[in-house]
Structure 1
Amino acid sequence: MNTLAGGDAGEGGPRRFLIATAVARYPKCPDWDRPTLIEARDRVIDVFTNELSYQHETALGLNPTKMQLTDQLRAFCKAPDRREDDLLAVYISGHGEVLDDSSDHVLFTSETDPDDVAYTTLPTVELARAILRDTKLRRLLLVLDTCYSGQGGNELAAAALERISATWGQEAGSGLVIVSSAQPRQQAQAGLFPQLFAHAVRNRATAGHSPETLSVNSVVQQMNDHPDRPGYQRISLSLVGLSGEPPAFLANPRHSARLTDVDLAVQQAAEFDEQAQRRETEFTNRLLMRAMGYHADASQGWWFCGRHTALADLIRWLHGPAADSSGACRVVTAGPGSGKTAVLGLIAALAHSERRRTVPVDALGLGPDLVPAEGAVDVAIYAQNLSDSDVLTGLTAAAKVRASTVGELLDALEAWNSKRPFTALIDALDEAATPDTLCSRILRPLIDHSHGQIRLLLGARPYLLDRLGIAPRTAGPRDEVIDLDSPRYADPAALRAYSGRTLLKAHPASPYRQHPEALRPVADAVAEAAGTSFLVARITAGTLAAAENVVVDTQDLAWRQSLPRHAGQAMRDDLTRRLGPDAQRATELLRPLAFTEGQGLPWEDIWAPLASALSGHTYTDEDLLWLRHTAGSYVVEATESGRSAYRLYHQALAEHLRDGMNEQAVHAAFTDVLTEHVPYRSDATRDWSRAHPYTRNHLATHATAAGRLDAILTETEYLVHAAPRNLTPYFHHARAEDARLAAAVYRTSLGIHAHVPPEVRRQVLALDAARAGATDLHQHLTHHISERRWTPRWATGGSFSPALRDTLTGHTNPVTALACTTMEGAPIAVTSGNDGTVWVWNLASGTPIGQPIDADTVSVNAVACTTMDGAPIAVTAGSDGTVRMWDLTSGTPIGQPIDAGTN
């Protein structure tokens, strides 16, 4: 890190710096232009900064002249704050050549003239003089990704030898390492080096968890062993002033002291343990509960019945081949309360190696053709409130592979050691954090490119079918869709049986136990009114079962017409009939659960105060005890962060309770209550370390929805103790200057915060605050650092960018797509939105470039960037079924729109 900390300046280890440049444009000879080198440079920067702990110095930029290249390198190396233990990596990509008259290797810069190559190129050996002469640098990693770079690397090594021998002597850890992308007389394939380098860094064959650094020798060896490396190109390694292994240039991104000195099986188990526990919690509290059909008392047993046609089709698919995309997916869909989670939960339970023994298959009438094979489902995920990355992480953990993208997961599954595809059950897609992108960017690519490697059993509302690439049910039957509301799968007999079972068992004093002759006609009437909704039937039948000594007359037409048809109506009627004037009291106590996050809302000192704040009435724990006794069937108890959490039994109930509420005001009440209940220290400041886990996990979500995020981002100790994975997605909502500054400081070391305890996170934040010149933030953070730990007093460094504070604000409707490229050497972003516009942004300043482009369509659904004739262009796809090309420099269309032939 570029810093000076209290105590020993080198206490935190050596600082790592990266200078990366590429010459992709040659104004005096456009035929030499190689725009792909820009992307290659970006990939190298990504690996060095995100995985190898380097700080990227941006002063050099793209397409330097000969003088800019040497002067900028020289200026950095001569800076007063350079230290002898600094590690510098320099990456240069572009054209290289060996001059015929001198056999010298030269680098082509942006000013190189094809008519005077010898004079307008930079001799590679000059880099040694610019970087090493009279500077403090002792450790340099130089990466030359050019044609004939091996020749340049050899010359550079020879030129540096004399200086190193005289100046560095035998000082431990000092030396020059040159990695060249081609041997002498070879030509380098453009863009290949970054691909090979990234693969070698990420390859577990290079290093596991134990080493703190990667061996440069091993990395180069892995690059040369990669099957994509052409035979004519080989990566070379030269060491100057060194023997054996070079200094610790490459930090091991997989290093973990916790996982050192244990066998590989234990390492994998430790890494995936958290995910496995989370999946088990979801299975028990969500899927299994719905599969049983009744949750209030497990001793009531299994109430699930029927759905045999749906089960038979799904089991047949699970046991069959999955050779193409048509066999890669099945979606169980239906309206609210139709029992899709019950069907999926039963399959998950029957496929579970241990849970399957608890399912009464005979009592449920499940023959062999309705029972999946043991282990037929590899993972069951309930997607409520999960982000796209959460779901992807759950899949990779279950498959015991490492992948951060869909493509990497598919690649890893090529080696799936099983006679069948990796099979994942994912329910509640419509309740995920971002249902649209989860379906379109994670699940649909897995379906389209499965090639028999993966099979997905999904649960979703019908509106998401097209996001998965499946025609909606109005287009006709599809093999991929199991629509539980359709005539084939609706199963009215099962609904009548379920209603009858509820009438008998939902209440110990149910009148239908003494009047069995009335059971069948009442159950039929309830089922008829419920349509296809098992949830409506359950609530209505439960209401009738609770009416002691009252058996309804099914011939009463008014009664039949009054039966609920929707979950909200059923809930309202149930509370009113059973509780009378106390129905409103129950509703107000249940309402906070409709807005909860994660596994649910804690009881403790949060639920009752929230109910009071939302209703304007004073409620206490006594009221919650009353609710549990009178309307406990609406509430499910779960566990989150080792504490009890409570939520509503079904999402449809939450939708009913949210109806008509001012959601911003509700989330403001959440924000106030959660913040007010954080304990105080003796110095009258809040002790966020003792805040309830729900507060640390979900306060940012509620504060953002309330428009109150700025206030909590300025609570420095909240930043220290908040759960990073639930905090960082909301930073772009910060508006006030001090809140945006705090978010920018946090982002500076984003990759660190999720993996360290709060004490270390506080030190890192203080460090970055010092570098950013955020004096107040730095003082507040250091005030709480223990005397036993190092404290950053001041720091230097240029990697902090004020642009990190900026939110790119301009679209009037949701942003649908994003692509990044460069224009005139500067990084830009291109965004499209449902407002039919395309915006171009300068990422360095966070400001728009020019006026927004009117794409002449209702919505722009996708955008991609490339270059054409050396100029940056964007290609957009619109909701009107057209594809258009745009000149990003001028913001004007290129040619006529292409009619893609579909909407």
Structure 2
Amino acid sequence: MTTSPDGATPHPHIGGRAAALRALAAWRMEWPGTPRVIVLTGDSGSGCSRLLTGFLMMCDPEFRKQMPLDSMDPSTVPPELPAPTVPNPAWLTAAQFLWLLADHCELSATTTDEVFTQLAARDQPLTIAVPNVDRAGPVRAAEEPARLVREVLNPLASIGTIRLLADVPRSLVAELLRGLPSGVVQVIDLDEPEWADPEGLVLHAEAALSPRFGAPELQFTRTSVDRRRLAELIGRRAGTSPLVVELAAQSILMVPEGFDPADEDRLPTSVGGCMDLHAERLGVEPGILRVLLAPLALAEGGGLPVELWAPLAGAVAGRDVSRDIAGAMQLVGPFILASGTGQNGDPTLLRLRHPAIGDDIRARLRSVGAAQSRIAMALLAAVPGQDWSKAEPYLRDHIAGHTLDAGLLPQLLTDPGLFVHADPVALRTAVEAVPIAALGAPARTYLRIAPLLTRTEVPVPLRAALLEIAFVEDGLPEYADAIRNLGFDLPWRTLWSLRVSEVKSVRIGNVPLPEGARAPVAVLIVPAETPGARPVAQVDDDGGTVPHGVIVHSLGQPVPDLGEIDPEQVLRPSQAELSTAPLALSRGTDYVRVWDRASGKVVAALISDSRVLSADLSPAGVLVLASARGVTALQIRPASSATAT
């Protein structure tokens, strides 16, 4: 390890890491011969996040004004330049992360390929720092960090005008390096001797034990000499892990009773050892501590609501643990963090202090799948009347993640209420992680339209409306009925859907019936070879004839028997009927809007998962839409009762 010059002030947030900071500073100033891409890695808890955060502090023009840069080793201080772009992938899918970057760069791309093309075409270099790769994705079992590295970071690293700094788990480093030329990338593994920082660990321990930073004054931390002696012991036992240093210090300060600073063997050498030794000093079986922390190790998202902690810990343990939890703060305190006030809709959430704690707990569970099964059953039991509209947000949005980890997700994907109310990003991510052959028809329908639900913040009522259409299109009318029974004022009711490809146009008209009645129908112009189509010849622009097919379909449901209908019999609505109709139509490449003529308000906005080919609207408000998927008819609700979407 290289050290800073004598008398140089350590970085106030990092307290060391001079060798790594020099490499990062050289990368930032684009020193000749420095690599274009730097990958920070190491064991979980090795300090990559802290190092990256501390370095970015010095890269921020405003924040660096608050730092003692003049007294620090100048070789560790980056030049004063515009701050790098720092998109944070925590809880995001790989696609969300890429579009976050595209928005920051103000790209006009509409596809992921276009994002990379436009980034490569930029005249100016782009400097990007990516923290928290290990926390990517809304669902842990979906392995989003690997997708992020494979589908986003590796292509970014391949663009010659991008300078990339990323904090990446060691298991994914090879994937990020795949296909990159030699000399382009430097890997800084903080557990390797070249980059390890034993003196920094001691400084970290000293700070944690100091009353100056809020530590209580104890017999063995009273003087600076005492603190230094104990800090050296903690640092030596911790190896290369700042997290072990932090947990060891927290444990000692929280439960000093029974701690003997002269007994070095009572200091931990690993994250698991921190938990075991802490529990033993309290006279508690370490397994009990792990059971109490297991729900947090298996939790999804940003934390577990505090009211779920006891029931889920009990589910994992197979017994009531409420009494254990009631007096557990000393036991679990060093390992958890809380956020939120618990008031006014701001829930109190519990999470582990560091992901490495969860890694250790999950690794020691007899079966993660079995534990997740018990948690999933407890969560399902907590849904009031199995009505997902009344479920707590954590249950609603994260049940899919728990059941995916348990291997039970396909069985859950038959509930239309869950499809409607669950966070579509998390649910889509979980469903995509299941082999398609294991999914039932309703889940495949959800997966088909999930991109519509996730590309914008689609409100819950519109999710229901889009699912209602999709279930009819896919021949699942019972699921469409279930959606209609959820209590939403849907802007339409889907009447029927035909699987017809390459529709040229749709037109609405009427067929005369006996006694002056008329039957509203849709006339579909389709390829001549379409099954069930009546062949006709149309004149093209050059005066020749082109064979086509015509399908005449009733607008109503159920479909009346109209017999053989000659398309020539179909009468278009009169101009007077069209001009006095209450609704009007507009459409784009993948959407259709229906307007109320009187108020000018949109009463129905339909987005399609395939290209819109043609559309027509009857005076009675029946919309017939032809897309690349087929033809669908919807009865639009009147403006007086429809809710604009």
Report the TM-score, using the length of structure 2 for normalisation. 0.66
1:422 matched to 2:422? The reply is no
Structure 1 residues 734 and 576 mapped into 2: Cα distance closer, same or farther (>3 Å)? same
Q: Which residue of 2 aligns with 1:772?
A: 474
Structure 1 residues 566 and 402 mapped into 2: Cα distance closer, same or farther (>3 Å)? farther
1:320 matched to 2:30? The reply is yes
Q: Which residue of 1 aligns with 2:246?
A: 538
Distance 2:277 2:70 in 1: 32
1:370 matched to 2:84? The reply is no
Q: Which residue of 2 aligns with 1:463?
A: 171
1:741-769 alpha-carbon deviations (Å, 9 max, x no partner): 21233244344323421212212222222
Distance 2:201 2:95 in 1: 37
Query: 2:35, 2:184 within 8 Å by CA — same for their partners in 1?
Result: no
Structure 1 residues 455 and 544 mapped into 2: Cα distance closer, same or farther (>3 Å)? same
Aligned pair partner of 2:187 in 465, 472, 481: 481
Query: 1:395, 1:424 within 8 Å by CA — same for their partners in 2?
Result: no
Q: Which residue of 2 aligns with 1:54?
A: none
Query: 1:333, 1:481 within 8 Å by CA — same for their partners in 2?
Result: yes
Query: 2:87, 2:100 within 8 Å by CA — same for their partners in 1?
Result: no
Aligned pair partner of 1:339 in 21, 38, 47: 47
1:764-789 alpha-carbon deviations (Å, 9 max, x no partner): 22222223332321221112244x54
How far is the alpha carbon of 1:339 from its aligned partner?
0.9
1:721 matched to 2:427? The reply is no
1:574 matched to 2:275? The reply is no
Alignment-mate amino acid for residue 395 of structure 2? T
What secondary structure sits across from 2:165 in the alignment? strand
1:588-631 alpha-carbon deviations (Å, 9 max, x no partner): 22111111122122223x222111100123234x8656444553
1:427-473 alpha-carbon deviations (Å, 9 max, x no partner): 3348663343432332122212x222x2211112333222122799x
Structure 1 residues 691 and 403 mapped into 2: Cα distance closer, same or farther (>3 Å)? farther
Structure 1 residues 772 and 492 mapped into 2: Cα distance closer, same or farther (>3 Å)? closer
Alignment-mate amino acid for residue 291 of structure 2? E
Structure 1 residues 748 and 509 mapped into 2: Cα distance closer, same or farther (>3 Å)? same
Alignment-mate amino acid for residue 439 of structure 1? V
1:556-596 alpha-carbon deviations (Å, 9 max, x no partner): xxx3345322111122112321x222755443221111111
Q: Which residue of 1 aligns with 2:388?
A: 688
Alignment-mate amino acid for residue 690 of structure 1? K
Q: Which residue of 2 aligns with 1:762?
A: 464
Query: 2:446, 2:467 within 8 Å by CA — same for their partners in 1?
Result: yes
1:631 matched to 2:337? The reply is no
- 1:233-272 equivalences under 5 Å are none
What secondary structure sits across from 1:519 in the alignment? helix
How far is the alpha carbon of 1:348 from its aligned partner?
2.8
Alignment-mate amino acid for residue 201 of structure 2? L
1:651-700 alpha-carbon deviations (Å, 9 max, x no partner): 221111112321111221232222222223xxxxx331232222232221
Distance 2:492 2:77 in 1: 63
Distance 2:439 2:239 in 1: 51
Distance 1:406 1:373 in 2: 33
How far is the alpha carbon of 1:551 from its aligned partner?
7.3
What secondary structure sits across from 2:39 in the alignment? strand
Structure 1 residues 794 and 431 mapped into 2: Cα distance closer, same or farther (>3 Å)? closer
Alignment-mate amino acid for residue 317 of structure 2? S
What secondary structure sits across from 1:330 in the alignment? strand
What secondary structure sits across from 2:232 in the alignment? helix
Q: Which residue of 2 aligns with 1:806?
A: none
Q: Which residue of 2 aligns with 1:440?
A: 150
Query: 1:306, 1:364 within 8 Å by CA — same for their partners in 2?
Result: no
Distance 2:189 2:245 in 1: 19
Distance 1:520 1:415 in 2: 54
How many pairs are equivalent? 478
1:658 matched to 2:362? The reply is yes
Distance 1:594 1:748 in 2: 32
Between the aligned residues of both structures, percent identity stands at 26
Q: Which residue of 2 aligns with 1:709?
A: 409
Distance 1:547 1:742 in 2: 53
How far is the alpha carbon of 1:314 from its aligned partner?
0.2
Structure 1 residues 445 and 737 mapped into 2: Cα distance closer, same or farther (>3 Å)? closer
Distance 1:378 1:639 in 2: 29
Q: Which residue of 1 aligns with 2:319?
A: 617
What secondary structure sits across from 1:341 in the alignment? helix
1:797 matched to 2:498? The reply is yes
Gaps of 5+ in 1: 1-292, 294-300, 681-685, 801-903
How far is the alpha carbon of 1:331 from its aligned partner?
0.8
Structure 1 residues 629 and 393 mapped into 2: Cα distance closer, same or farther (>3 Å)? farther
Q: Which residue of 2 aligns with 1:809?
A: none
Alignment-mate amino acid for residue 709 of structure 1? L
Distance 1:478 1:402 in 2: 29
Alignment-mate amino acid for residue 47 of structure 2? G
1:517 matched to 2:225? The reply is yes
What secondary structure sits across from 2:101 in the alignment? helix
Alignment-mate amino acid for residue 336 of structure 2? V
Structure 1 residues 725 and 585 mapped into 2: Cα distance closer, same or farther (>3 Å)? same
Structure 1 residues 549 and 623 mapped into 2: Cα distance closer, same or farther (>3 Å)? closer
Structure 1 residues 414 and 638 mapped into 2: Cα distance closer, same or farther (>3 Å)? farther
Distance 1:743 1:627 in 2: 41
1:815-839 alpha-carbon deviations (Å, 9 max, x no partner): xxxxxxxxxxxxxxxxxxxxxxxxx
What secondary structure sits across from 2:84 in the alignment? coil
1:396 matched to 2:99? The reply is no
Q: Which residue of 1 aligns with 2:381?
A: 676
Structure 1 residues 760 and 529 mapped into 2: Cα distance closer, same or farther (>3 Å)? same
Q: Which residue of 1 aligns with 2:519?
A: none
What secondary structure sits across from 1:392 in the alignment? helix
Distance 1:489 1:799 in 2: 63
State the superposition RMSD in angstroms: 3.7
1:301-320 alpha-carbon deviations (Å, 9 max, x no partner): 96631112211220221122
How far is the alpha carbon of 1:721 from its aligned partner?
0.9
1:451 matched to 2:160? The reply is yes
Gaps of 5+ in 2: 1-9, 138-142, 502-645
1:699 matched to 2:402? The reply is no
Structure 1 residues 542 and 666 mapped into 2: Cα distance closer, same or farther (>3 Å)? same
Query: 2:94, 2:148 within 8 Å by CA — same for their partners in 1?
Result: yes
Query: 1:700, 1:730 within 8 Å by CA — same for their partners in 2?
Result: yes
Distance 2:223 2:194 in 1: 33
Query: 2:296, 2:352 within 8 Å by CA — same for their partners in 1?
Result: yes
Distance 2:425 2:242 in 1: 36
Query: 1:334, 1:485 within 8 Å by CA — same for their partners in 2?
Result: yes
- 1:145-294 equivalences under 5 Å are none
Alignment-mate amino acid for residue 761 of structure 1? R
Query: 1:759, 1:785 within 8 Å by CA — same for their partners in 2?
Result: no
Structure 1 residues 331 and 547 mapped into 2: Cα distance closer, same or farther (>3 Å)? same
Q: Which residue of 1 aligns with 2:443?
A: 743
Aligned pair partner of 1:308 in 1, 9, 18: 18
Distance 2:438 2:203 in 1: 61
Distance 1:456 1:313 in 2: 13
What secondary structure sits across from 1:455 in the alignment? strand
What secondary structure sits across from 2:49 in the alignment? helix
Distance 1:692 1:363 in 2: 52
What secondary structure sits across from 1:511 in the alignment? coil
Structure 1 residues 375 and 335 mapped into 2: Cα distance closer, same or farther (>3 Å)? same
In terms of mean alpha carbon deviation, does 490-499 or 723-732 score higher? Answer: 723-732
What secondary structure sits across from 1:565 in the alignment? coil
- 1:1-20 equivalences under 5 Å are none
Query: 1:688, 1:717 within 8 Å by CA — same for their partners in 2?
Result: yes
Alignment-mate amino acid for residue 619 of structure 1? V
Q: Which residue of 1 aligns with 2:204?
A: 498
Distance 1:477 1:413 in 2: 22
